[in-house]
Amino acid sequence: MGTINNSKNDQSFFVGLKAFIADGEKLLIVQDTDGQWELPGGKIQAGEDVPTAFKRELAEEVSKKAQIELGPVFHVWIRQPNPNKKDFFIFLVGLRCFWRGGEVVTSDEHKNFRWIAKKEVDSIDFENTYKDAIIYYFQSIEK
């Protein structure tokens, strides 16, 4: 058996799942309690597989009444939520999803939601890295 190389350059990550939920040309975003906007989703909890974690997070953050079609992995990126915590990074996996009906009811983690078009992105105060991910989304659907 080989040995594991524990390089000092290796990073540890939490893994989070984020939903790019489209309703026509609009994308769903949620506003956290600090007033910044992000995509719905969250971290995978111990013992969960990816589909279970994703469905739980969307039920919590969007609504148990929402009808959302899960699509393929669409985008991945790394986020450092708090620059003061130099060793805390989240590897985010974004899934392309489609709104099929129901209603949005945000959780206690969020105070608002909205559906946005591409032209609105620059005027929104996003948490770090979300603006770039959302610009990437809108560019990709134009192709």
pLDDT, tens digit (0-9, with 9 covering 90-100), for 55-64: 999 999 999 9
In a domain? residue 4: no
Residue-range definition of the domain harbouring residue 113: 16-86+97-142
Predicted confidence band at 18 (pLDDT cuts at 50, 70, 90)?
A: very high
Number of domains in the chain: 1
Predicted pLDDT at 75: 95
pLDDT, tens digit (0-9, with 9 covering 90-100), for 80-110: 877 777 778 889 999 999 999 999 999 899 9
Strand bridging mode 90-101 / 14-23:
parallel
In a domain? residue 119: yes
Check pLDDT > 80 for residue 124: yes
In a domain? residue 46: yes
CA–CA dist 94, 104 (Å, integer): 19
Average of per-residue pLDDT across 19-45: 95
Average of per-residue pLDDT across 34-50: 92
CA–CA dist 25, 116 (Å, integer): 8
Check pLDDT > 90 for residue 8: no
